[in-house]
Amino acid sequence: MSLAPNAITICSQRFSRGTWSGRVLVSGALYEVDKIDLKLLREGASPAELDLIAVDTDAEEIEQEQAVEARAWGRHCADYARPSGY
């Protein structure tokens, strides 16, 4: 494991049934990770050391995914803001 921590950008996140997963940008490549992979990347492990494979996607696909997630989050928040009895 390398000693220097990676520069990591979290591009998208998902929460499902109590678990977190996300897509992160490391050294110009996009990876699908869970919270353990993210922790190890932040501690300096390389994607290769974790057997991560870069996600083959383009910028338009990422924008579409983020738009879908934003709409889903908006609906989720609206459900909690609705008064009971509806």
Assess if residue 14 is contained within a domain. Answer: yes
Is there a contact between 66 and 57 (Cβ–Cβ < 8 Å)? no
Residue 48 has pLDDT above 70, yes or no: yes
Assess if residue 71 is contained within a domain. Answer: yes
Number of domains in the chain: 1
Assess if residue 86 is contained within a domain. Answer: no
Is there a contact between 46 and 4 (Cβ–Cβ < 8 Å)? no
Assess if residue 1 is contained within a domain. Answer: no
Residue 84 has pLDDT above 70, yes or no: no
- Specify the higher pLDDT residue, 60 or 36: 36
Q: What is the pLDDT of residue 58?
A: 64
Q: What is the pLDDT of residue 69?
A: 72
**Total Cβ atoms within 10 A of residue 82:** 9
Assess if residue 52 is contained within a domain. Answer: yes
Residue 72 has pLDDT above 60, yes or no: yes
Give the domain range for residue 45. Answer: 8-81
